[in-house]
């Protein structure tokens, strides 16, 4: 494995580890204190069902994402799948955030999280490209080994 492939492998794992931490932290905030988080954004939760729905939408889904992404960190075979998964999620989140800023107006809170979302999107794209390159090189290396074995 060449240096770029090794860097790519670790870069992908670092991105997915960061994603796991981010999803877990988001999840825990909403699972532990959905009313407090809603109050931070001046959102009123009028019923127990509203509180539970907030826990599910913003607590359970990110926790599920964290578990999926973490399973891809620990398996080299699933690394590319995890990068695509996270890239898709963060890409959609970033697009919706930009749409919200353009439609609803730019607030300091929205712009504060938009920058890291764009960085994470770019890092996931770089990770995907590096992992695809690493896999192509592995295939070429295996083919060369087979050719060398057949030639002898």
What pLDDT does 94 receive? 97
d(Cα 84, Cα 8) in Å, to the nearest integer? 14
- Output Rg (C-alpha) for the chain, integer angstroms: 20
What pLDDT does 132 receive? 95
Assess whether pLDDT exceeds 90 at residue 38. yes
Residue 38 vs residues 29, 66, 110, 136: alpha-carbon distances, Å: 10, 22, 15, 47
What pLDDT does 141 receive? 85
For the chain, the domains span 3-151
Q: Which two tokens stand for residue 127?
A: 């990770």
């Amino acid at each position: 494995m060449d240096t770029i492939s090794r860097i790519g492998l670790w870069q992908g794992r670092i991105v997915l580890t960061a994603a796991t931490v981010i999803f877990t932290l988001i999840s825990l905030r909403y699972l532990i204190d959905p009313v407090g988080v809603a109050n931070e954004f001046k959102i009123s939760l009028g019923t127990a069902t509203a509180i539970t729905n907030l826990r599910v939408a913003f607590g359970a889904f990110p926790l599920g994402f964290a578990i999926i992404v973490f399973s891809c960190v620990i398996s080299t075979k699933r690394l590319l799948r995890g990068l695509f998964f996270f890239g898709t999620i963060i890409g959609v989140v970033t697009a919706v955030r930009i749409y919200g800023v353009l439609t609803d107006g730019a607030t300091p809170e929205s712009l504060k999280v938009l920058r890291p979302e764009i960085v994470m999107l770019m890092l996931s794209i770089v990770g995907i490209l590096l992992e695809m390159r690493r896999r192509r090189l592995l295939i070429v290396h295996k083919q060369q080994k087979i050719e060398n074995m057949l030639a002898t």
